[in-house]
């Protein structure tokens, strides 16, 4: 596969999955969570070999906020200026739940098809 | 030793920020501002958490990658935008509406920003500018008057703080009406994070954006007054002219003259007023003046849009200004 197509497919896949994991990271936090903390958690949990650029998180959060999936509040910090912390809105929770369902069924389907390829190789 | 390492780390971050700004050159100023603030805050937080500047930058992404992420998101995400101004928006607009505002000359009739500018300069902006001016002059006078007995100093801080808050609010209003995007990330006051209360006040007083905001509130009033007069006069005149054909067809006179006054005008081949004292223009004249009114209002929409673009970018420039780091004096 030419590298530019591989790059495009990787970007397409990354965008959808990144939105899902970011929403999930915000949902599981018990208190409003700031961008750096989300990035750190996702980087810590990323599998070996998967490159997650933390800086791509911020335009994503911005889009989510514009879409009404998350809302932000400024929280004072002892370590520096006030930080923008995020929580999920009701709409964000609804989208996350719907997306989780889609992800699980898609995951099952893709694994089944990929299993077929593995068997013939 | 630790101080030297910290200074080196901040130097590396500043270099990264400069490269990111370079990659985003030509992009919208508000987008560039937000990307820079995001990167600055993230990298500083990572360094504070113990990461080295180089590792933090590698994990954050190269300036090229990050600039592309912002530009991609900007081009695909309509709700970031305040106005239908760029090519990317066309992909989501309906086929009928998407080209209407691009029609030469009369496209302004279909441009939300032109109507927004008429509404802003004709009503909202002018009213707000009066309020800002009264507030600034009232508190400013108290500051000058009470400065000798030191009560003026906290009032000055109040004035500058309120000026910054009002300027941020004005940014939101301008974004809504004029379609010029404002930054979403609030820029912290440089140098005020790790110092005490009095030094923080000093940083506030030295921050150029505080004074720019105050200057905006004071200077905005005469500018808004002039713009209000121009827009109101052009709009009223053109609407009046455009209404003439409709008045003719409705049989309504454009004026009524007291017959006892003896006023008698010969115009357009007719005698005015008629025997009831009503002044009516001939059909062809009414239509001609209506067309002139239409062209005049089209010009007004273009003028308002142009004023809106300039005005909006001045407000944007104040909000994205990057002040130099201030070193506050040590207060024992």
If pLDDT is split at 50, 70 and 90, which confidence band does B89 have?
Answer: very low
**Least Cα separation, residue A90 to chain B (angstroms):** 19
Q: What is the DSSP string of B32-62?
A: HHHHHHHHHHHHHHHHHTT--HHHHHHHH--
Rg of chain A on CA atoms, in Å: 17
A117's CB contacts (< 8 A; 6+ apart) are: none
Q: Do B66 and A74 touch (CB under 8 A)?
A: no
Instruction: Spell out which residues of chain B touch residue A53, defining contact as CB-CB under 8 Å.
Output: 59-61, 65-66, 69
Q: Is the pLDDT of residue B269 over 70?
A: no
Cα B79 from Cα B183, distance rounded (Å): 14
Place of tokens 């029609």: B103
Distance CA B32, CA B67 (A): 9
Residue B230 has pLDDT above 90, yes or no: yes
**Structure confidence by residue, pLDDT tens digits, B41-86:** 899 888 888 888 888 898 899 999 899 989 988 887 655 555 444 4
Beta carbons of A80 and B38 less than 8 Å apart: no
The pLDDT-based confidence of B88 (bands split at 50, 70, 90) is very low
pLDDT at residue B131 tops 90 = yes
* d(C-alpha B321, C-alpha B164), whole Å: 12
pTM for the full model? 0.72
DSSP labels, A29-82: -SS-EEHHHHHHHHHHHSPTT----GGGHHHHHHHHHHTTSEEEEEE--SSSS-
Please count the other Cβ atoms lying within 10 Å of the Cβ belonging to residue B115.
16
Q: Round to whole Å and give the CA distance between B11 and B44.
A: 11
Residue contacts between A and B (CB atoms, under 8 Å): 80
Residue B279 parent element (H or E): strand B278-279
Q: Which of A32-36, B221-225, B304-308 has the lowest mean pLDDT?
A: A32-36
Q: How far apart are CA A28 and CA A42, in angstroms?
A: 12
Contacts of A56 in chain B (CB under 8 A): 61, 65-66, 69
């Amino acid at each position: 596969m030419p590298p530019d197509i591989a790059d495009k497919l990787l970007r397409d896949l990354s965008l959808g999955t990144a939105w899902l994991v970011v929403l999930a990271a915000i949902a599981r936090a018990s208190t409003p969570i700031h961008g750096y903390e989300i990035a750190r958690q996702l980087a810590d949990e990323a599998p070996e070999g998967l490159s997650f650029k933390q800086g791509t998180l911020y335009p994503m959060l911005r889009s989510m906020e514009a879409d009404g999936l998350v809302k932000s509040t400024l929280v004072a910090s002892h370590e520096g200026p006030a930080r923008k912390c995020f929580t999920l809105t009701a709409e964000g929770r609804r989208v996350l739940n719907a997306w989780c369902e889609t992800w699980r069924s898609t995951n099952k389907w893709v694994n089944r098809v990929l299993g077929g390829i593995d068997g013939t190789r | 030793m630790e101080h030297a390492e910290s200074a080196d780390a901040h130097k590396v971050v500043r270099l990264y920020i400069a490269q990111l700004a370079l990659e985003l050159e030509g992009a919208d100023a508000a987008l560039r501002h937000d990307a820079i603030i995001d990167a600055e805050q993230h990298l500083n937080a990572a360094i504070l958490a113990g990461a080295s500047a180089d590792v933090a930058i590698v994990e954050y992404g190269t300036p090229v990658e990050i600039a592309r992420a912002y530009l991609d998101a900007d081009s695909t995400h309509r709700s970031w935008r305040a106005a239908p101004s760029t090519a990317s928006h066309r992909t989501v607009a309906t086929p009928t509406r998407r080209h209407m505002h691009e029609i030469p000359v009369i496209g302004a009739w279909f441009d939300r920003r032109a109507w927004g500018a008429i509404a802003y300069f004709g009503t909202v902006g002018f009213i707000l500018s009066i309020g800002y001016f009264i507030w600034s002059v009232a508190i400013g006078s108290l500051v000058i008057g009470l400065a000798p007995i030191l009560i003026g100093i906290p009032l000055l801080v109040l004035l500058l703080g309120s000026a910054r808050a009002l300027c941020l609010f004005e940014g939101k209003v301008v974004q809504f009406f004029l379609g010029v995007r404002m930054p979403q990330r609030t820029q912290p006051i440089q140098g005020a994070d790790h110092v005490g209360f009095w030094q923080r006040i000093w940083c506030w007083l030295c921050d150029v954006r505080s004074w720019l905001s105050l200057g905006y509130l004071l200077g905005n009033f005469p500018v808004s007054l002039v713009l209000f007069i121009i827009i109101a006069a052009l709009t009223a005149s053109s609407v009046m002219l455009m209404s003439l054909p409709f008045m003719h067809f409705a049989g309504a006179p454009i004026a009524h003259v007291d017959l006892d006054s003896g006023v008698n005008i010969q115009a357009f081949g007719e005698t005015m007023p008629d025997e009831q004292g009503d002044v009516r223009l001939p059909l062809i004249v009414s239509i001609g003046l209506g067309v002139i009114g239409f062209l005049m209002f089209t010009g007004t929409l273009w003028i308002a849009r142009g004023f809106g673009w300039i005005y909006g970018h001045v407000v944007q420039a104040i909000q994205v200004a990057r002040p130099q780091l201030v070193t506050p004096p040590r207060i024992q």
